[in-house]
Amino acid sequence: MRRSGLLLICLCFCSCSLLRAQDGAPKNKQVQLSGGLNAYAGLYTSSGIAGRNQPNPFGLSGAVTLTLPGGISLPFSAVLGNQGASFRQPFNQFGVSPTYKWATAHAGYRNVSFSPFTLAGHTFLGGGIELNPGMLRIGAVYGRFNKAISSTLSDPNVIPSFKRTGYAVKVGYGKPNNYVDLVMLRARDDTNSIDRVQMSPEKYTTPAENMVIGLTSRLLLIKHILVEADLAASSYTRDLSASEVGAEGKNPMFRLVGKLITPRLSTQLTQATQAALGYQSKWGSVKFQYKRIDPNFQTMGAYYFQSDIQSYTGNVTLNLLKGKARLAGSYGKQFDNLAQNKNARTGRSIGSMMVSLNPDPTLGFDVSLSNYGLSQRAGIRPLIDTLRIAQNNLSATANVRYSIFDKDFSHIFTLTGSHQQLSDLNDNTSVQTENNSQNANLGYFLQASQSGFGANLMLSYTQTSLPQTLPGTTDQKVKFYGPTLGTNYSFLKKKLNTSLNFSYLFNKQFGETGKVLTASLNAGYQLAKRQSLNIMFNYLNSNTGIQTEKFNELRGNIGYGISF
């Protein structure tokens, strides 16, 4: 606590000193300082439940951003109060990427992307450069991708990792939206960077090596046709201590990789492909996409990949009635078990449709439908009927809006309804899983053009039907309905902004009837150009009919802020 307080005081002192120094500087200075300080104090009280906050929270917080020439930003922040203290600064992971014309340099902690399946945003500590003179595209980075972390029997919670260094290079031709790039990434763990003798058995890890060769492109073949392709082959060695093997076979990619790395018993060669063909014009667009990622595909240039999938997707968009109507739809299928070595194969189908009609600027209709299907079929073993997954999730939403505008007020009316339904196609499990819900909202919004007065009224109704065999219940429907009111107004030449919101919802669940009441009041006053005062109160009364959900809460807060 004491250390964080000293850091916050130093931060405030440096901020004020730099701010005074900038007052006499010319307006075209390249070094800029921005940020703010906030002080707050509050109250909290509750009855019926254990307190979820301190009775009298208070504290001081500050944030400062120093912007140096070249677009380098250094953010600092600190919090000091009776709820805790913290200080954050960027020097634990600091990096810069200055750009001059067609050249960009990288230094420090950076995350760079060359293609989705090679170097794709993994943070490294090192350096690199990207050059784009004319149509030429060149890039190269080198650095540490993971630092060494040791785990011992005395500290088994630490997840060990080897020091990992690597590099990636890119050579391509084209413009940012029309190009072809060839990318290679290679990374390797340092086998001597940590001591594996003292590792706990459950946290034992092995050093790995990875090389990925990829091709990425975005090609505009003719005026309206776009082709996208991302291809990659990854050689991943999971244990560098495994025995060496010869790179033989008919696969030319494996023979090529075998000349660049040392194949071992733990080496696996996998591939990843995604491609798309699209057509876009004034009337709309059409796009077809294909993706296939082999099981266990990995690259050390990315944090996570969903592997063992193959999918097909089609999208269509139509602009009709001179832009007053829009129709969009998509359908896709996805499945796994590409190597046919799992007990079951899981398939997914996703379809959606959206219709939007705006015959007049004051009137609009929107309808959307989506359907998500999930099914399984036997893999290397027969499926047991009671465990087989076969579900369908349907969602539908409709919205109508109508507006009235004049020189003094604007009136907006909205009506929204939605339906969601989970259907289980397996008769053995449908009783425990099937459910559906409906929601309807009727809203009115009023806004004054000159005075800043606003008001809104919302009537809502929600009904959920739970599975029929939920234990301990007789009524499987849960209902919430009631009004929500809100208003806002500006006083004192719009220096004082206030808002008041009130909600009263009735509920019926498990044979019980109850209510939930919420109310909030907010006020903000502009003391000066860069100073403000804010006050907030929030009250919650819950009495749903269930004893554990019967309680009251009151929260309040007052805060002062200054920005520069």
Average pLDDT over residues 317-346: 92
- Distance separating alpha carbons of residues 531 and 40, to the nearest angstrom: 14
Say how many C-beta atoms besides its own lie within 10 A of residue 37's C-beta: 20
Which position has the higher pLDDT, 36 or 383? 36
SS3 438: strand
Task: Say how far apart CA 455 and CA 486 lie, in whole Å.
Answer: 6
Q: Residues 116, 121, 127, CA angle at the centre, nearest 5°?
A: 120
Q: Which pLDDT band, with edges at 50, 70 and 90, does 66 fall under?
A: confident
- Alpha-carbon distance 536 to 558, whole Å? 6
DSSP-assigned letter for residue 467? -
| Per-residue model confidence (pLDDT) at position 559 | 95
Give me the pLDDT at residue 137, please: 96
CA separation for the pair 521, 557 (Å, rounded): 11
pLDDT at 469: 55
Contact 300, 187 (CB under 8 A): yes
Q: What is the pLDDT of residues 227-269, one digit of tens each?
A: 999 999 999 999 998 998 876 655 666 666 667 788 889 999 9
pTM of the entire predicted model = 0.78
**Short-list 115, 94, 96, CA closest to 105:** 96
The pair of three-digit structure tokens given for residue 47, joined into one six-digit string: 């009855």
Q: How confident is the model at residue 202 (pLDDT cuts 50, 70, 90)?
A: low
Is there a contact between 409 and 446 (Cβ–Cβ < 8 Å)?
yes
Task: Say which residue the tokens 């590409």 belong to.
Answer: 338
Please state, in angstroms and rounded to a whole number, the distance separating the CA atoms of residues 9 and 198: 44
Task: Read off the pLDDT of residues 90-109 as tens digits, 9 standing for 90 and up.
Answer: 667 778 888 889 999 999 99
Q: How does pLDDT run across 441-485, given as a tens digit for each residue?
A: 999 999 998 888 999 999 999 999 877 655 555 567 889 999 999
pLDDT in the model for residue 6: 37
The answer to whether 417 and 396 are in contact (CB under 8 A) is no
